[in-house]
Amino acid sequence: MPKQEESKTVSYTKDQMFDLVADIDRYDEFLPWCNNSKIISTKKEGDKKIVIADLEIGYDQFVYTYRSEVKLHKDKSEINVSNLDGPFKYLENNWKFITVNENECEIQFNIDFELNISLLDILMKKFFDLAFQKMADAFISRAKEIY
């Protein structure tokens, strides 16, 4: 099961980075292998906004849509994602946004998943580190572009 943890300090505020990651409808504009992204529903639950979203991910003939539940914390400190349906046996990822100073924040990210599709799971395990780094870099590049 691929697991990855990353921590990075960036020259953007906690709120800016939270808003960028929470903007699921725009993932297909900048995130590698994301062909389409769509919010299906939203609701409030205590101090969180719960979003159900579909992401179509793929490369070449391997294209799959998966549905996730995304918990957006009101204080913009954390985003928690879990798989609801699609090619994953399970998927969990968590983002934490910590203020370093008025112009910087630390982003802590972890992901753990396993795919239902054996061949794709084997390929993903083999190339996961490279794919993870490319996706992490895409969020940083997006921040440079919009901020």
Q: What is the reported pLDDT for 58? A: 80
Q: What distance in Å separates the CA atoms of residue 90 and residue 70, rounded to the nearest whole number?
A: 14
Give Cβ neighbours of residue 127 (< 8 Å, ≥ 6 apart): none
Q: DSSP 3-state assignment of 69?
A: strand
Domain 3-146 fold: Alpha-D-Glucose-1,6-Bisphosphate; Chain A, domain 4 (3.30.530)
Q: What is the pLDDT of residues 60-117, one digit of tens each?
A: 777 889 999 999 999 999 999 999 998 888 889 999 999 999 999 999 999 888 777 6
Q: What is the pLDDT of residue 88?
A: 81
**pLDDT score recorded for residue 99:** 98
**CA gap 135, 104 in Å, rounded:** 20
How would residue 39 be classed by pLDDT, with cut points 50, 70 and 90? very high
Contact 72/20 with Cβ under 8 angstroms? no
- Strands in 2-129 per DSSP E: 3-10, 34-45, 48-59, 62-73, 78-85, 88-101, 104-115
